[in-house]
Structure 1
Amino acid sequence: MPLPPPSPFHQHIALPERTALLLSMLAPWPRRGRELLVIGCGAGHVLPPLWQSGFDLSACETSPALREQARRRAPQGVEIEAASPDWLPFADNSFDWVLLRADELPPAALPAALGEACRVAACGLALTFWNSASLPWLTWRLHGRRHAWPGHCLPFWTVWRLLAARPGRLHAASCLWRPACR
């Protein structure tokens, strides 16, 4: 049986909120002349905002159908490679920055993908995922799951433990849908 379509909540509220949070978290990163690799770019929704914010982009995706959608959305000059997140065909420190979209991965693949992301990142790594304690996830679980959830959910502390075992400073942020005045 096919999955139901993603909800309007995810398409019009949660995903734009996540994109805004991502751009604010990456705001301190130098951009011009720096390359950002997006691992698990999915259908490429995040590529245009990252490009417009000044990053030189490369991306990888395992699914041929999603890669094709990402190529249609990607700005001209953005290369989208066929690569598995747990085995990247790039040399160590190939990219200044790396964005790993963990919601696009099966949870069991996260430790290997995180290791590969750290290996190819020279300056920094950002990791996005759907938090299993978030208001959108809990609402979806309570209201009958009429729509497909757009990715894998992970407990925040599981992800934090994986990151805490690596050297460097850690920053965390979360976005929840809320009225604009708050």
Structure 2
Amino acid sequence: MTNWTSKETVDKYTQWNESPAGVFALRAKMKLIADLISGWPRRGRRFLEVGCAAGRMTEMFYHAGFDVTGLDCSPSMLEAARELLGQRAEFFLGKAEHLPFEDRQFDYVGVGSVLEFVDDPEAVLEEALRVASRGVIVTVYSKWSLYYLSRNCSGADFADDRTWLSPFAVDRMLRNQVETGLFTRRSILLGPVCTWRDAPVCNWLNSSILPYGFGALSGVCIDKNDTKMTIPLMVKKCSAKPSILNACRTNLAARNSASTFDK
């Protein structure tokens, strides 16, 4: 399995995220998650991101309005996350299978692209559900996708030994552990990795929110207490998601411009 504590892995992860395909995939992931959590209240709500890596998604959750905490097993990743977010978030070193938190300590928990890299994904989900009082969101790259078929292409990924899961396997694991709750499922990134770039046809192909399991990245949002949307539909569609995404896109653009200038 991928050694997330090694500098080589961190460097490969950074290179992937700074590549055109990696930047495109990150924007798509933000769009998917913004869609899935658009009904969650945020002000004053505690959010834990399990597997926060270098903090780019943690930053999105911060801009969404949550009080954010990140956890990762890699000291190098946490160092990068702390550099990115400063005092805006708390960070902890630990394993997703054994979270160092009390039951229901957080309102919401996010598990993003972690299950593919652990020996016991069900333990990760059990821990996430344990420390979340209101809801959990899980994303996973699917083996039922054109991304999976193109995984051997040059530059297609930063980790070549992930355990590919089907979205329905993840859904089944969650169903085995959640007795009551409202499930929302979506996916994004329909095309293979060679189409993850800014071009009219590619944007049309990969930027639409899709039914669960159709895209490379699938997400499941669980409201543990059957909580309903607290944001009216028109506000959710017209205001909530764009405000989050615009803030994140501005930060991504600024970082990309800075990287280009440094080069």
Alpha-carbon shift at residue 81 of structure 1 (Å): 0.4
What one-letter code is carried by the residue in structure 1 that aligns with 2:142?
Answer: N
Aligned-partner Cα distance in 1 for 2:158–2:62 = 23
CA RMSD of superposed structures (Å):
2.2
**Structure with the higher helix share, 1 or 2:** 2
Q: 2:82 aligns with which of 71, 75, 78?
A: 71
Secondary structure (helix, strand or coil) at the match of 1:179 reads helix
What is the correspondence of 1:43-62 to structure 2 with a 5 Å cutoff?
A: 43-62=54-73
Aligned-partner Cα distance in 2 for 1:92–1:103 = 21
Contact conserved, 2:54 with 2:80, CA < 8 A, in 1? yes
Structure 2 partner of 1:175 = 188
Alpha-carbon shift at residue 148 of structure 1 (Å): 5.5
What is the correspondence of 1:132-171 to structure 2 with a 5 Å cutoff?
A: 132-141=143-152, 143=153, 146-147=154-155, 149-150=157-158, 152=162, 153-165=164-176, 166-167=178-179, 168-171=181-184
What is the correspondence of 1:12-161 to structure 2 with a 5 Å cutoff?
A: 12-103=23-114, 106-141=117-152, 143=153, 146-147=154-155, 149-150=157-158, 152=162, 153-161=164-172
Residue by residue over 1:21-63, the C-alpha shift from the partner in whole angstroms, topping out at 9 and shown as x without a partner, is 1112111100001010000101111011111111110110111
Aligned-partner Cα distance in 2 for 1:74–1:131 = 29
Residue by residue over 1:113-138, the C-alpha shift from the partner in whole angstroms, topping out at 9 and shown as x without a partner, is 11100000000000011111223232
Contact conserved, 2:106 with 2:132, CA < 8 A, in 1? yes
Secondary structure (helix, strand or coil) at the match of 2:135 reads strand
Aligned-partner Cα distance in 1 for 2:102–2:111 = 17
Alpha-carbon shift at residue 104 of structure 1 (Å): 6.3
TM-score normalised by L of structure 2: 0.62
Aligned-partner Cα distance in 2 for 1:56–1:80 = 12
Alpha-carbon shift at residue 76 of structure 1 (Å): 2.4
Secondary structure (helix, strand or coil) at the match of 2:151 reads helix
Decide which moves more: 41-50 or 30-39: 41-50
Change (3 A) 1:75 1:48: farther
The gaps in structure 1 that reach 5 residues or longer are none
Contact conserved, 1:42 with 1:67, CA < 8 A, in 2? yes
Q: Percent identity?
A: 29
Aligned-partner Cα distance in 2 for 1:148–1:28 = 33
Secondary structure (helix, strand or coil) at the match of 2:42 reads coil
The gaps in structure 2 that reach 5 residues or longer are 1-7, 191-201, 209-263
Larger radius of gyration between Structure 1 and Structure 2? 2
Secondary structure (helix, strand or coil) at the match of 2:182 reads coil
Q: How many residues align?
A: 178
Contact conserved, 2:109 with 2:136, CA < 8 A, in 1? yes
Structure 2 partner of 1:6 = 16
Q: Give the 4+ runs in structure 1 shifted more than 6 A.
A: none
